[in-house]
Chain A
Amino acid sequence: MKDKIARIKENIEKSLQEIKTGKELYELKVNYLIGKMSEIPSLMKELGKADKDERPKLGQMINGLKDWATEVIAEKEKAIAEIERRARYEAETIDITMPAKKREEGSLHPVTVIKNELVEIFSGMGFMVMETREIEDDFHNFTALNTPKEHPARDKQDTFYISDDLMLRTHTSPGQIHALKTLKPPFKVIVPGRVYRADDDATHSPMFHQMEGLAIDKKVSLCDLQGMLDVLVKKMFSSNVKTRFRPSFFPFTEPSVEVDVSCFECGGKGCKLCKGTGWIEILGGGIVNRKVIENCGLDPDEYTGFAFGFGLDRIAMLKYGINNIHILYEGDVRALKQFKIL
């Protein structure tokens, strides 16, 4: 029996040296440790046949063998697992430079992206968003905005008419009239939307986008307009961009100003974008003309306000370096997809 124990031990040792795979090791385990007919448990069964005096000692030896075998096999299992894992890693190693897999995303239109940015900035300053109709009558598009009959803006050259009185709005300024007539002052609104003018070349599109702004309260001044615009351009472009006012003329504001921002491309030194002037014309605005307030049934001695308007397309083009306005309206997916879901 002792010999048998020694032989088993020897066989296990020998086998362990040769074994390379988990499968072989498992077979070894079945043969010697865990199988129904396996060697070590069989020894235990044979123990009954042994000499009574030797039984305790033999029992100890068999248990010793069992513990030893369990341990060495476990060690071997660990070692083989390690080898096999390493082999698996190796086998599964891939060419990581192959193309990524991702779901193709769509995109938001650049004008929408700019509109969202502006809405966010203006929301913070208490401006609500108002959308008004695109086909307007003479009153809202011109008369109420103090644009007299003789004004060139009324020329058929510039305006698309659908009847003597109705036209496609030429600016978002009619939004001022809707706001003044429907909202109770004090209020602040922005009116983004499509506008139409009979012009079609590389820098003009017969349809484009504007955003009108109007703040009505009891005491509003040019300083307030400048303060709001400072916030706007700093958030929109960068914190070191400056604004500059210069005199301008719009029938619905008085005084009227043209607002330039220092060129965000060259910082004001002069470059191609700002045509060497260091400044970029960005919007028009001013103090709401008393006649506009009057035309909407409010008292211009009680309420004052500032108004401004700018082209969303122009800002998108400036900000993203788009050189032809028609790119915005062609629907070419190669252009649109550059804009992501911002």
Chain B
Amino acid sequence: MLAPLSWLKDFVDIDVTPEELEKKLFGCGFEVEEVIRYGDKIDKVVTCKILEITQHPNAERLRICRVDAGKYGILQIITNAKNVNVGDIVPVAVDGATLATGDRITSGELRGEKSYGMFCGGEEIGIDDNFYDGASGDGVLVFKDDFPLGEEDRDLLGLKDYVFDISVLANRPDCQSVFGIAREIACALGKPLKLPALDFNAGAEGDGEISVKVEDKELCPRYIAHLIKNVRIEKSPKWMSRRLALCGLNSINNIVDITNYVLLEMGQPMHAFDMKTLADKSIIVRRAKSGEKITTLDEKELTLSTENLVICDGEKPVALAGIMGGLNSEIENDTTGVLFECAKFKRDNIRKSSRTLGKSSDSSKRFEKGVDEYTTELSMKRALHLVCELGAGEVTSTHIDVSAGQAQLNKTVKTTFSAINGVLGIEVPKEKIIEILEKLEFKVEYNGDEITTVAPPYREDVESYPDLAEEIIRMYGYEHITPTLLKDAAITPGGYSAAQSDEMKLKRFLAAQGLSEAMTYSFYSKKDVAALNLPEGAKEGNNVVIENPISDNYEVMRETLVPSLLSAAARNLKRGNYDGRLFEIADTFAPCGDGFPIEEKKLCFVLFGDGEDFFTAKGVAECVAEFFGLKFDLSKRAEKSYLHSGVSAKILLGDSEIGFVGQAAYETAEKFDIDKKVYVGEINYSAIESAEKPTFKFSPLPKYQIVKRDLALVAPKDVTCGEIEGAIISAGKGVIRSAELFDVYEGAQVGAGKKSMAFGLEFYDDEKQLSPDDVDGIVKRVLGSLQHRYGVVIR
């Protein structure tokens, strides 16, 4: 929202500096994003009158002028301009001057003749024709006014101005205008507010044939039209085009400029139709027909749907309601009859139309935020006043006001002073509360602690006492709020729940194992899912789909974190990070009919680099089990299309499969542009959270020595480590506490189809110290069992 200081001053006597004003606005909820300064550079560019012109003796194109520059005296100025004559009053930059461009001017010599300054054109002063006639030309600006000599041009022309770029909060659509902001400033400064002039003479005879019909009253709750006759299309006065320019709008002609001026000043978008183009002299407000077309003022043809609201004449759409007028009803130089439109359109409809059609305007932006009907009425009056003031035409008596329903009621709040102060936590004096509310144009009645307020008509946002509390504190000042620590509140227990705390500890535990926690997006592309080469019906491919993704990369909610972490691994490898261990714990999503999708937490990890293999990945999985005091069965091969069939395992907790660990299948890795071996694991974390976990109890230290013995075995190649280990433990009948493989060898020395395996065994008996003979006996039993079950012999 742009608000020029000079314009604001029409409504409030602002006697503070622009910096102070900025602070005041900030304090009451209006952040000034930028203060744009006009004419603040220009200095010592003054008026002078040309007294005499002579030819430069040494240069054909130059002329020597003698000028009267008032208090700067009679000066000699050399110029190449051809449009100056004796008697002209022109701007001259005297010695030490600064131009609007920031350039400095000093006295100098041109071809042997002294010049004590430089004549200026519009560009040097920073203005154009919109501001002063003749300022857009190439030559020197010749003033048409009889300005006093030697005076600063910036002051004579009113060049100095400050334009505040203010961000307006969504609940204050009434402040999207110069007048709305002025209203706030008046209150903040404690100054009276002057209303804009609204008087007009509607003396001209109207036209009874004009009709307005609103077919969709929901989308257009209010439509006011007024007829202007004998219009003379002209340029707007300079003060008007200057103000439009300060707010970033071009001057078009008097009628169009009046609608834009009212938009900026009052916040009410308006439109002007050329009467001669309105078929049947009628206005119909309706939803567009599907496929109906309109060409807007910017000469773009749009195809509409029934979601778009249009303003039509007897035959065709003539405007896209609230957004832009149609080219077919545009005001032209020969326009003589104008129908003004001042309406209220439903804000979300305007927003949706604006978005779907890709068309946004100053008008649509204001309608999107909301316009109140009080302002709609006020604004039509203001426009008609301006027609009279500019002599742009004759205001007729034809005034048509179509309203959807009952008149808008001002919001009334009945409450108490103590309720208001209760919200704030401080005691704002009663008198102060009343003073602030009255300044904000609330009607206030009170009796003891009770207070009843009626909000001004433009404040549709005020509904109950907390709203009043906000109005009061923003004007009273937030610095009055004194910190207290929930002094009247109950004590409540805080912190993580046991499960949340476990998750955090597990994260730290995994980090201590060398894994870095990653966070990746909860959505990925269908290509990511396809990279898993899933069989028909796989749950990983049954996804919650985003209806309106911002890109193909984020279109489905993930059921598995695997593609996310493979992408992260690929990114690392591409960037030359050849070693990495990443993990993530995050929600995954699976559809569940029409209801809420099922959200399940999963823990996923990916390992890559020289030191990694299946067993390091298996180690991570076991760490997770150990952290919770659980035991995973990792002895069954996984059956996942995206894992290496020979280098992957299911993760079983009891009988239920809760995840997997293994090498990513080559086909899958390839799709992520990974040409190295990468290991992934995923565990359904929710399943672990809900699993019953053993309570930790201390185990007493052994009373006797643990006996250790190594066994070197030769086994047929297809017998697994797990099978041998299992056989050893079971033959050990509780005395062998552990059997761990520490070496494996295949080759000539053990013969084809065989492998050598070395196990370290630990023997312990709770009842007695085991003797070497005891151990020999057990080993013998173990060897017998191994040979019998798997054909394994001692080496």
A binds B: yes
Q: Does B644 sit within 8 A of A, measured CB to CB?
A: no
With a cutoff of 8 Å between Cβ atoms, the chain A residues found around residue B594 in the complex are: 163
- Give complex CA distance A304, B421 in Å: 13
> Which residues of B are found within 8 Å of A129, using beta-carbon distances?
495-497, 500
A323 located at the interface, meaning its Cβ lies under 8 Å from any Cβ of chain B in the complex: no
Mind listing 7 A-B residue pairs with CB under 8 Å?
Answer: A133-B596, A135-B557, A135-B599, A155-B351, A168-B546, A217-B488, A217-B490
Among A5-13, A24-32, A98-106, A263-271, the stretch that binds chain B is A98-106
Which residues of B sit under 8 angstroms from A329, Cβ to Cβ?
A: 519-521
Contact of A245 with B520 in the complex, beta carbons under 8 Å: no
Is B139 among interface residues, defined by CB-CB distance under 8 A?
no
The yes or no answer to A337 lying at the interface (CB within 8 A) is: yes
Asked if A222 is an interface residue, CB under 8 A from chain B, the answer is: yes
> Is the beta-carbon distance between B481 and A332 smaller than 8 angstroms?
no
Which one of B90-98, B462-470, B709-717, B783-791 is at the interface?
A: B462-470
B71 CB, min distance to chain A CBs, angstroms: 40
**Are the CB atoms of B466 and A227 closer together than 8 Å?**
no
Known contacts A128-B497, A245-B478, A341-B512; is-contact A112 B517 (Cβ 8 Å): yes
Query: Are A219 and B519 CB-contacts (below 8 A) given A123-B496, A160-B549?
Result: no
Instruction: Decide if A224 touches B489 in the complex (CB within 8 Å).
Output: yes
Contact of A247 among B169, B482, B497, B597 (CB under 8 A): B169
- Could you tell me the distance in whole angstroms from the C-beta of B21 to the nearest C-beta in chain A? 16
B361 surroundings in chain A (CB, below 8 A): none
A109 at the interface (CB under 8 A from B): yes
Which chain A residues in 180-202 approach chain B with CB under 8 Å? Answer: 186-188, 194, 196, 198-200
Assembly CA distance A215 to B484 (angstroms): 14
* A220–B466 touching, CB < 8 Å: no
Decide: A198 near B548, CB < 8 A? Known: A126-B492, A287-B423. yes
A107-B511, A128-B493 given; A333·B426 CB < 8 A: no
Ranked 7 nearest A-B pairs via Cβ? A221-B425, A331-B568, A223-B425, A247-B29, A255-B470, A227-B483, A123-B495
For A150-179 the 0/1 string (1 means CB < 8 A from B) is 111001110011110010100000000000
Cβ 8 A contact of B511, one of A105, A160, A166: A105
CB of A257 closer than 8 Å to a CB of B: yes
Binds A, one of B124-132, B245-253, B277-285, B502-510: B502-510
Query: B754 at the A/B interface (Cβ < 8 Å)?
Result: no
**A152 touching B520 by the CB < 8 A rule?**
no
Interface string of B325-355 (1 = CB under 8 A from A): 0000000000000000000001110010001
Give, as a whole number of angstroms, the nearest-CB distance from B730 to chain A.
Answer: 36
The CA-CA distance from A212 to B571 in the complex, in Å, is 33
B487 contacts across to A, CB distance below 8 A: 224
Flag if B522 contacts A134 (CB, 8 Å).
yes
B489 lies within 8 A of A245 (CB) = no
Q: Judge if A111 is at the interface, Cβ distance under 8 Å.
A: yes
Tell me the smallest distance from the CB of B183 to a CB of chain A, in Å.
16
User: A252 to nearest B CB, angstroms?
Assistant: 12
Closest Cβ of chain B: how far from A68's Cβ, in Å? 47
Query: B548–A341 contact, CB under 8 A?
Result: no
Chain A residue total in the interface (Cβ 8 A):
86
Is B489 in contact with A123, judged by CB distance below 8 angstroms?
Answer: no
The answer to whether B489 and A246 touch across the interface, beta carbons within 8 angstroms, is no
Known contacts A109-B519, A329-B521; A131 and B546 CB within 8 A of each other: no
Q: What sequence of 0s and 1s flags, for each residue 149-181 of chain B, a beta carbon within 8 Å of any chain A beta carbon?
A: 000000000000000000001111000000000
* A65 contacts B by Cβ under 8 Å: no
What string of 1s and 0s marks CB contacts (under 8 Å) between B380-391 and chain A? Answer: 000000000000
Report the Cα distance A21→B492, complex, angstroms. Answer: 76
- Identify which of A126, A133, A186, A255 contacts B473 (C-beta below 8 A): A255
- Structural contact, B171 and A249, CB atoms closer than 8 A: yes
Closest to A338 in B: B516
Query: A221 and B423: CB pair below 8 A?
Result: yes
Whether A128 pairs with B492 at a CB distance below 8 angstroms is: yes
> A207 with B514: in contact, given A162-B557, A220-B489, A222-B424 (CB under 8 Å)?
no
| Chain A min CB distance to B350 (Å) | 10
For the complex, what is the distance from the CA of A104 to the CA of B169, rounded to whole Å?
51
Contact: B596 with A166, CB < 8 Å? yes
Q: Does B42 contact A (CB under 8 A)?
A: no
Give A272-301 as 1s and 0s: 1 = Cβ < 8 Å from B's Cβ atoms.
000000000000000101100000000000
A63 at interface, CB cutoff 8 A:
no
B36 adjacent to chain A (CB < 8 Å): no
Bound CA span A160–B306, Å: 24
Q: What is the bound-complex CA distance between A199 and B587, given in angstroms?
A: 21
Q: Is the CB of A186 within 8 A of B548?
A: no
Verify if A66 is at the interface (C-beta below 8 Å from B). Answer: no
B486 touches A217 (CB 8 A): yes
Q: Are B551 and A221 in contact (CB under 8 A)?
A: no
Q: Are B548 and A331 in contact (CB under 8 A)?
A: no
In the bound complex, do residue B496 and residue A106 qualify as a contact, i.e. CB atoms below 8 Å apart?
no
- What's the Cα separation between A329 and B467 when bound, in Å? 40
Known contacts A222-B423, A332-B572; is A106 also within 8 Å of B515 by CB? yes
Docked CA distance A184–B171 (Å): 32
B589 at interface (Cβ–Cβ under 8 A)? yes
CB pair A227 B485 closer than 8 Å: yes
Taking a contact as CB atoms closer than 8 A, the residue among B495, B575, B587 that contacts A128 in the complex is: B495
CA of A168 to CA of B557, assembled, Å: 10
Q: How far is the CA of A333 from the CA of B572 in the complex (A)?
A: 7
* Complex contact A135–B348 (CB within 8 A): no
Interfacial chain B residues near A116, Cβ < 8 Å: 504
Mask, B541-560, CB within 8 Å of A = 1, is 00011111111001001000
Complex Cα–Cα for A187 and B575 (A): 48
Given A194-B522, A228-B486: A161 and B493 within 8 A (CB)?
no
Binds A, one of B286-294, B577-585, B669-677, B744-752: B577-585
Nearest Cβ on chain A to B472's Cβ, whole angstroms: 9
Q: Which of B29, B549, B550, B557 interacts with A248 by CB under 8 Å?
A: B29
Q: How far is the CB of A217 from chain B (nearest CB, A)?
A: 4
In the assembled complex, which residues on chain B have CB atoms less than 8 Å from the CB atom of A163? 547, 594
Q: Who on chain A is nearest to B170 by CB?
A: A249
Q: Is A319 an interface residue (CB 8 A)?
A: no
Q: Answer whether A255 and B466 are a contact pair too, CB < 8 Å, given A187-B492, A227-B486, A246-B478.
A: yes
Docked CA distance A103–B511 (Å): 11
Measured CB to CB, the closest approach of chain B to A330, in angstroms, equals 6
| CB 8 Å contact bits of A36-61 with B (1 = contact, 0 = none) | 00000000000000000000000000
Q: For the complex, give the distance between the alpha carbons of A162 and B470 in Å.
A: 37
Residues of B within 8 A of A166 (CB): 596-597
Selected from A108, A126, A218, A337, the residue in CB contact (under 8 A) with B507 is: A108
Residue of B nearest to A200 (CB): B550
Give B481 Cβ to nearest chain A Cβ, in Å.
Answer: 5
Q: A247 near B494 (CB under 8 angstroms)?
A: no
1/0 per position for A218-241, CB-CB distance to B under 8 A? Answer: 111111101111110000000000
Query: Which one of B484, B496, B512, B569 contacts A119 once the chains associate, using CB atoms below 8 Å?
Result: B496
Q: Which of B346, B519, B581 contacts A111 (CB 8 A)?
A: B519
Measured CB to CB, the nearest residue on chain B to A340 is B511
The distance in angstroms between the C-alpha atoms of A180 and B673, with both chains bound, is 48
CB-contacts of B415-452 with A (<8 A): 422-426
A321 within 8 A of B: no
Contacts of B474 in A (CB 8 A): 247, 255
B538 within 8 A of A: no
**Do residues B351 and A224 form an inter-chain contact, with CB atoms below 8 A?**
no
Q: In the complex the two chains form, is B489's CB within 8 Å of A254's CB? A: no
- Which of the residues A156, A187, A290 comes within 8 Å of B466, measured between beta carbons? A290
Of B31, B547, B567, chain A has the most CB atoms within 10 Å of the CB of B547
Q: In the complex, which residues 324-340 of chain A have their Cβ closer than 8 Å to any Cβ of chain B? A: 328-334, 336-337
Contact status A223-B484, CB under 8 Å? yes
* Contacting residues, chain A, for B494 (C-beta < 8 A): 122-128, 188
Whole-angstrom distance between the Cβ of A121 and the nearest chain B Cβ: 10
- Asked whether, in the complex, the Cβ of A104 is within 8 Å of the Cβ of B514, the reply is yes
Given A125-B494, A246-B478, A223-B426 contact (CB < 8 Å): yes
**Docked complex Cα distance between A331 and B523 (Å):** 15
